[in-house]
Amino acid sequence: MEFKQPKAIYVQIADYLLDNILSGEIKGGERLASVRELATSVQVNPNTVVRSYNYLQEQEIIYQQRGIGYFVVDDGLQKTRAFRRKRFFEQFLPDVFKSMDLLGISMEEIVETHKKQKV
């Protein structure tokens, strides 16, 4: 995993896990890698992984069973999708609309481009 600025590393790790949930690589009810395993695998301090896991717990996407590990909630796919959709509409889309306005791109152009890419 390669980290990119300016997003915090713990958020990038959380996004990586969310991507794996959305793709079906990690399923609801499944146990996640231990803090040490994931820290070693992505070459970060274990505290960074703990911060990622805490972030996902705050979103109610994962939970911890003391002494056993971290698990994805049973409806993790739905919760992940809802979380990502909310973040998309609140954080990403306003920037897209601003760029569209500045560049004179119409919604029709976006829809047409989207249709072409789906084919």
Domain boundaries, the chain: 9-76, 86-118
Residue 5 pLDDT: 78
**Distance separating the N- and C-terminal Cα atoms of the chain:** 31
pLDDT for position 81: 97
Backbone angles phi, psi at 6, to 5 degrees: -95, 5
What pLDDT, in 10s, does the model give residues 38-60? 999 999 999 999 999 999 999 99
pLDDT at 40: 97
Q: Which CATH number fits domain 9-76: 3.40.50.150, 3.40.50.410, 1.10.10.10, 1.50.10.10?
A: 1.10.10.10
pLDDT digits (tens, 9 = 90+) for 11-35: 999 999 999 999 999 999 999 999 9
What mean pLDDT is predicted for residues 82-102?
95
Local structure of residue 89 (DSSP, 8 states):
I
Give me the phi and psi of 8, to 5 degrees please: -60, 145
Quote the pLDDT of residue 3. Answer: 77
